[in-house]
Amino acid sequence: MQLASSVFRGIAAPGLVFLLLTLGAFPSRADEATDAKNVTTAFFRFTDRNDAEGAYSLAGEQLRRTAPKRETMAGLQTWFATKGGSASSHEIIAQRAISEDEARAMYPQATAKGNVYVFRYRSKYPKAVFFEDIYVSRDSDGVLRINGHVPQPAE
């Protein structure tokens, strides 16, 4: 995590009271987005090996609440059969950070705290090319995890 080193100074009131704000204690949004992208990379390492347990280990609270493990594992097995093996490429074609308020407005059942990172990949698999939308958010323990994976045919 790269820390911001700047100190911002501003006058808080006419009585020359200065407010010192140091931003170095928190990761920047760009750092968090990079960390979220790294979660998707780990997810692809598992799914390209048809490792359902590994992929499930990255599942977040929201996903685990809405789809029990047995259902998620069955869905992963179906996905593995559909794609037909490892991808020759996973190319990001879009990515976006959605604020907590925006996420709740779009998905009232969303429980994410902070940003939700949405990545759309174009993945080339042996059987077909797919778009894969992957949603990453921070769980209550502060760890970024997968809270949605939606593959659909690209062509």
Identify the structural domains of the chain with CATH numbers, from first to last. Answer: 27-153 (3.10.450.50)
Q: Does residue 40 register a pLDDT over 90?
A: yes
Residue 149 token pair: 């994976």
pLDDT at 68 over 80: yes
Question: Distance (Å, rounded) from C-alpha 118 to C-alpha 108?
Answer: 17
Report pLDDT for 29: 65
**What is the pLDDT averaged over residues 39-61?**
96
Task: Give 152's contacts (C-beta < 8 A, 6+ positions apart).
Answer: 130, 131, 133
Q: pLDDT at residue 67 above 70?
A: yes
pTM as predicted: 0.78
